[in-house]
Structures are given as C-alpha cells and as structure tokens.
C-alpha cells in the first residue's frame, strides 16, 4: 500500500529529471540554471596613447594626462568637454633621457577645439596638423578660455597652429614654432604673453597676428619668417598695446608687393620696443626689388635703447624714445 502511494511521486521526480538539461560541470552533469547568461563587463579602460588622449578630452572634471609615448591621430580629436585639461609629455629616449612626446596629426586631422576651457600643454612636439575645408589654426582653437603652452615644439604644421578668441588669453613659455606654413598664432579680443619663444622659418602668413590684443614678448626671437601676404612677421591691427623686451627680429620678409613691416606692422595701435635688435628685415617693392623695413608705423611707437637708423616707415611720423615701463634687465 505504501509502495502504491510512493509510485506517483517517483514518476514525477523522474519526469522532472528528464526535463532538466544535462551537461558537464554541474552536479552530476546537469547544467546550472542561467549558466548561459554572462553579466555585462565594465567598459575597458583605454590603453593606447590616442585612446587615452581622447578619453581625457571628453572627461567632465579636471584632468591631468601624462603621455609616456608618441601618438599619431587616426581622426580629428573630439571637442574638449573637460573644463580644465593638462596634457604633459613624459617620454624617454632609448638611453632614458627625458624628451618631448610627439603628437602627429597625420597631415590632415584637427586638434583641440576648446570652448570656455582651461587648456595646458607641456613638453610636446606637435607636427603634421593640416587645415581642411578652409579652416585655419588646426591644433588649438579656443574661444573664451585660457591656453598655456610650455616647452613645446610646433613644426611642419599647415594652415595655422593656435587661434584664440576672447577669454583669458594665451601664454607661451620656452617653446619653438619652426617651419610651419600658413601662419602660426592668431589672437583676437584677448591677450598674449610670450617668454623665451622662437619663431623661425615659418612661411605663408604671420608668425603672430593680433586684433585688439594686449601683447607682451620677452626674449623672443623672430628669424627668417616669410609672410606671403601684406602682413609682417608680427602684425598688430586696431586698438591694443604691444611690448617687446630684449627681442630679436632677423631676416624676416614680406613677399607681396605693397606689404608692410618686414618684422612688425603696428596699425592703429601702440607699440614699445625695449632693447630690441633688428637686422635684414625686408619688404618687396615694385620691380621685384626689396628694401629694408623693420617696423611699419601707423600708430604710436616708442623705443628704449638703440633705434634702428633705417627701416622705420609709415604714416605716423618717427618713433619716439621712451623707456617708461621697460624692464631694467
């Protein structure tokens, strides 16, 4: 009687055992329930130098990225959403010495587009960035932000390098701009400070183009730059004051007939040169000839120290001698 009552229960157990799928690795061969469902893994952290740079650009908080190897872009960088971004090169030579890390634009890609961003770049070599679709200044374009450049080399870029409009301006220290094409720096409605900066063998546009700026250059060198426009190596347009202290302007030229200021053109502005050196700066005149012209003056220009005996031309009279606000050393 007891066996008759147990028989239905045993039949039920056997039926359930038949329905459970069997497989290796789980209690006598039965497969664990939900074994085929794998929880989603967390997104992997970026590992390549380019991926790390892209991730830093789009972070939402203050970010410091230390590069330890060179990188070459495979596409434009995304717009900068990080409100305060620092990118520092920390690369080494094969002998373990410190060197700049190279960021290569692959001769066609754009760099940092920064809106109301504090961007600091240091110990980098920037090369191969090129304008496209008629856009200029392809490595850094900043609006209403603050840009700081330290110990960087910018070379073999085309279409411009840095463009700053408004904001807290541009500060460049201990850096070089060499053999770039199509102009180098543009600053509009903002300020620029440059200390110990070299502008050498750049072609096609101005090394520094300024519209309503405030500019201070200390111990800067402008050498063998060629502007294929009517602008000088340094062109200043409209209101704003500029001051050069212990700077050198050597062998700069404007190659378009009617160009002004082989070294500096000051138009509707104020310029001061404190103990500066001028040599072999020229403009092109009719007939394919050249003439010495260091500074074109259409505003107020003052010198402290030696005033060049030639090459001061313009529509606003001779330069004045005034050492006010010039550093003593």
How far apart are alpha carbons 81 and 87 in whole angstroms?
A: 14
**What pLDDT is recorded for position 54?**
95
pTM of the model: 0.83
Q: Which long-range contacts (CB under 8 A, 24 or more apart) does 321-329 make?
A: 322/272, 323/274, 325/243, 325/272, 326/243, 326/245, 326/272, 326/274, 326/275, 327/218, 327/245, 327/274
**What does the block give as tokens for 19?**
């329905």
For 311, residues 6+ apart whose C-beta sits below 8 A from its C-beta are 262, 278, 281, 292, 293, 294, 295
Q: What are phi and psi of 125, to 5 degrees?
A: -110, 120
Q: What is the 3-state secondary structure (H, E, C) of 82-125?
A: CCEEEEEECEECCCCCEECEEEECCCCCCCEEEECCEEEEECEE
User: pLDDT tens digits for 41-69?
Assistant: 445 667 899 999 999 999 999 999 999 99
- Say which residue, 11 or 126, is predicted with more confidence: 126
Q: How does pLDDT run across 199-254, given as a tens digit for each residue?
A: 999 998 889 988 887 899 999 999 999 988 766 778 776 557 889 999 999 999 99
Q: Check residue 135 and give its pLDDT.
A: 55
Centroid of chain to Cα 289? 37
Quick one: the chain helix, strand, coil %, rounded to 5? 10, 45, 50
pLDDT band at 9; cut points 50, 70, 90: very low
| pLDDT score for 10 | 44
**CB atoms inside a 10 Å sphere around CB 195:** 16
């Amino acid at each position: 009687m007891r066996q008759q009552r147990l028989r239905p229960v045993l039949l039920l157990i056997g039926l359930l055992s038949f329905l459970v799928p069997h497989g290796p690795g789980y209690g006598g061969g039965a497969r664990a329930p939900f074994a085929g469902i794998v929880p989603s893994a967390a997104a992997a952290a970026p590992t390549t130098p380019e991926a790390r740079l892209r991730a830093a650009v789009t972070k939402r908080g203050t970010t410091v990225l230390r590069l330890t190897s060179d990188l070459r872009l495979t596409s434009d960088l995304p717009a900068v959403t990080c409100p305060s971004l620092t990118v520092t090169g920390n690369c080494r030579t094969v002998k373990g010495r410190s060197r700049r890390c190279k960021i290569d634009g692959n001769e066609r890609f754009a760099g940092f587009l920064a809106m109301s961003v504090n961007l600091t770049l240091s110990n980098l070599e920037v090369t191969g960035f090129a304008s496209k679709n008629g856009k200029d200044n392809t490595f850094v374009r900043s609006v209403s932000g603050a840009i700081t450049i330290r110990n960087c080399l910018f070379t073999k870029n085309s279409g411009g390098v840095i463009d700053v409009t408004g904001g807290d301006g541009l500060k460049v220290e201990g850096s070089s701009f060499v053999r770039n094409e199509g102009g180098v720096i543009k600053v509009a409605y903002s300020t620029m400070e440059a200390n110990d900066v070299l502008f050498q063998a750049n072609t096609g546009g101005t090394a520094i183009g300024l519209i309503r700026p405030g500019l201070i250059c200390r111990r800067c060198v402008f050498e063998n730059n060629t502007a294929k426009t009517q602008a000088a190596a340094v062109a200043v347009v409209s209101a704003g004051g500029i001051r050069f202290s212990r700077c050198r302007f050597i062998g700069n030229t404007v190659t378009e007939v009617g160009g002004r200021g082989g070294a500096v053109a000051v138009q509707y502005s104020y310029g001061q040169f404190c103990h500066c050196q001028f040599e072999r700066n020229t403009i092109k005149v009719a007939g394919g000839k050249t003439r010495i012209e260091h500074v074109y003056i259409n505003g107020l220009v003052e010198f402290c120290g030696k005033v060049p005996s030639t090459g001061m031309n313009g529509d606003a009279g001779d330069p004045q001698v005034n050492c006010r606000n010039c550093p003593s050393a």
